[in-house]
Structure 1
Amino acid sequence: MKYMLLIYVTPATTAPSPTDGARMMEAYESFNKAVAEAGVWIAGDALHGTDTATTVKVDDSGTRLVTDGPFAETREVLGGYYILDVPDLDSALDWAARCPGSQNGGSIELRPVVDFAAG
């Protein structure tokens, strides 16, 4: 079953130190290697900050409304995602707990991916 792991982080008010930034990159590289070697990795990427976001809505009249920034104002922001193909929710929970984004104040939201039949 495919699960999307949505990585939510609290935006830093200051840039991380070079040491902290290097540690985090090493942790993600290790996690990336682990999911690849386990054969469960389907996709995953980090996202640029919310200052690069654009939100699109279409109102009842069909008019497209474009707004700079994210739609919702929240304390945490979506920082990236993984899509993993694992046997069950328990396996997805295990991987989510290993993801560096679940530590140091971050959180992982797990959502099963809907598999629409072709055609």
Structure 2
Amino acid sequence: MRYMIIVRATPMSEAGVMPEDPKLLQDMATYHEELARAGVLLDGSGLRPSREGWRIGWAGAGKPVLTDGPFAETKELIAGYTLIQVRSPEEAMEWSRRFPRPFPDGVDCEIEVRRLYELEDFGTDPAIDRMREIGVGTSER
């Protein structure tokens, strides 16, 4: 089972403010080292502010529309993520409880944890087989 631990954006992360407290980075490094030693870490990274990104949207049957960042609702944005692969929801919950505070004291922040779909969840279909062949959407390591 793969889970994404999502660090919600804050006005601080959207402003591109890098962590000044070395303890925050040390705590993140230690946590990710523990994940790696346990063999459950797949990936993790911070995301640049939304002003450096874009969205592509589709309305009805219309053509795709490009919208440049920044995006207004900071609380709905993602500042970073950690991707883990574990044996159970309980194990994912335990790892997420250990996630270090992602922003300094005094900054309201939260993480969200979501399970990823596996290709097996979509049944059998030649398109799913194609995805499996290129290694997309699988829990294989």
1:14/1:45 Cα in 2 relative to 1: closer, same or farther (>3 Å)?
A: closer
Matched, 1:110 2:117: no
Offset at 1:44?
1.4
Partner AA of 2:113 in structure 1: L
Counterpart in the other structure of 2:38: 38
TM-score w.r.t. length of structure 1: 0.81
Compute the displacement of 1:106 (Å). Answer: 2.1
Distance, in Å, in 1 between the alignment partners of 2:93 and 2:47 is 22
Query: Alpha-carbon deviation of 1:31?
Result: 1.0
RMSD over equivalenced CA pairs, Å: 2.5
Larger Rg: 2
2:60 is paired with a residue whose SS is coil
- Larger relative contact order (C-alpha < 8 A, sep ≥ 6)? 1
Counterpart residue type for residue 5 of structure 2: L
| Structure 1 ranges of 4+ moved more than 4 A | 13-17, 101-104
Q: Distance in 1 between matches of 2:71 and 2:16?
A: 24
For residues 81 and 26 of structure 2, the distance between their equivalents in structure 1, rounded to whole angstroms, comes to 17
Q: Is the 8 A contact 1:11 1:77 kept in 2?
A: no
Q: Which runs of 5+ in 2 are unaligned?
A: 121-127, 130-141
- Provide the C-alpha distance between the structure 1 equivalents of 2:17 and 2:102, rounded to a whole number of angstroms: 19
Unaligned runs of 5+ in 1: none
Structure 1 residues 64 and 16, CA gap change in structure 2 (3 angstroms)? closer
Q: Tell me, what secondary structure is at the counterpart of 1:75?
A: helix
